Amino acid sequence: MMDIEKVRELFPITKEKIYLNHASTGPLTTKARNAIETFLDIEMEGNITEELFEDVEETREFAARLLGVDADEIAFVKNTSQGLIIPINALNWEKGTNVVLRKGGFPANIYPWMYILPDIEKKYVELKGSENFIEKCFSVVDDNTRAITVDWVDYLTGEQVDLEKLGDFCRKRGILLFVDGIQGLGAIKIDLSRIKVDFFSSGASKWLFGPLGIGILYISKMVLDRLKLTNTGWLSAEWDDLHNFSVLPSLKNSAARYEEGTKNFIGIYGFRENIKLMLETGPEKIEKRIFCLRDRLINGLREKGCEILSPLSKKKGSGIVTFKPVRTTSEKLAEELTEKKIIVSLREGWIRVSPHFYNTEDEIKELLNNV
């Protein structure tokens, strides 16, 4: 059984605030901070050795376990955007082909397609009311569709896309599937070994508790050979001896070939501790805990007569619950909650709440008491 009080000791923010804003930015754990300080001491004392690269590879192994994939399918990136940009740039895009996107999705999964591929047709799927994204997506696909790109979890509504169903559809038709996974990874268990996704990118800054400026890119080994060698640098190569540069080795036959130079060791050291926490706690247990808090929140909001934008079913839902209050405006309520140190987000006239597994039922109750 999960010891919530023990887990909460890793989050000093719980002593000052009721923090329910993980869809925005997750708070750093004490474990991650201590690991970052350890690396800073190493750098300050000039003890940079090849052992640091062993720590990087251990972090890669942990990240692969979190996604259910092989370590050689994982690359470290700065953020979700970079993880999408790399494969977009590395693929050959023939004239006359098209890409399917979600209109109104998060901009990180829109801007790269607009400006990197200005000559490739974009087919935007726009949802109205209770329309199903996948069904509408299927309706716009044609023989020239080269890729579909989706947000696994919508940043506003929290609606979850059925990646297994979408992946099967894409694989049967030879369509590449790109996924912005940042609003799901860390909150919802995923196993990409059985889901047919080609590229999956997620920064660490939200449900994975940071640090800022680090993330992971999954490149399926089935498509690696189809990618051009963009942003190739000296650390894209398979070095056996970092003291002899007279002979240039061949490039890595893995996603790590896109890590062109010196890595974000500060980010990786902190990230490693947060992934370890996820794995030790258990992704399935974390998801179960988040959905338990979600149910309590939704039931309480419904009792108060609030308008709920998020899906009510678990199958379509996520860690995000978005609503409008009855007694006041969303803007006013957001101000009131902030004053009481209950941290949520105001998004497009809605209140967005995103609890994590270390939050408590009492914290959800306190939020509801103020709605």
Is residue 208 within 8 A of residue 357, CB to CB? The reply is: no
Question: pLDDT tens across 71-121, in order?
Answer: 999 999 999 999 999 999 999 999 999 999 999 899 999 999 999 999 999
Residue 160 three-state SS: strand
- Please calculate the CA angle 354-361-182 and round it to the nearest 5 degrees: 20
Q: What is the per-residue pLDDT for 338?
A: 98
> CA 361, CA 371: separation in Å to the nearest integer?
16
Q: What is the per-residue pLDDT for 244?
A: 86
pTM here? Answer: 0.96
DSSP states along 266-328: HHHHHHHHHHHHHHHH-HHHHHHHHHHHHHHHHHHHHHTT-EE-S-SSTTT--S-EEEE-SSS
> CA 321, CA 160: separation in Å to the nearest integer?
12
Distances (CA, A) of 133 to 136, 163, 361: 5, 11, 32
The angle, 0 to 180 degrees and rounded to 10, between the axes of the packed helices 163-173 and 133-140 is 10
> CA 364, CA 353: separation in Å to the nearest integer?
10
Amino acid at 129: G
**Weakly modelled stretches of the chain, pLDDT under 70:** 1, 129
> Which of 279, 73, 98 is CA-nearest to residue 195?
73
Q: What is the per-residue pLDDT for 51?
A: 81
Q: What is the per-residue pLDDT for 342?
A: 98
* Percentage of the residues of the chain whose pLDDT score is greater than 70: 99
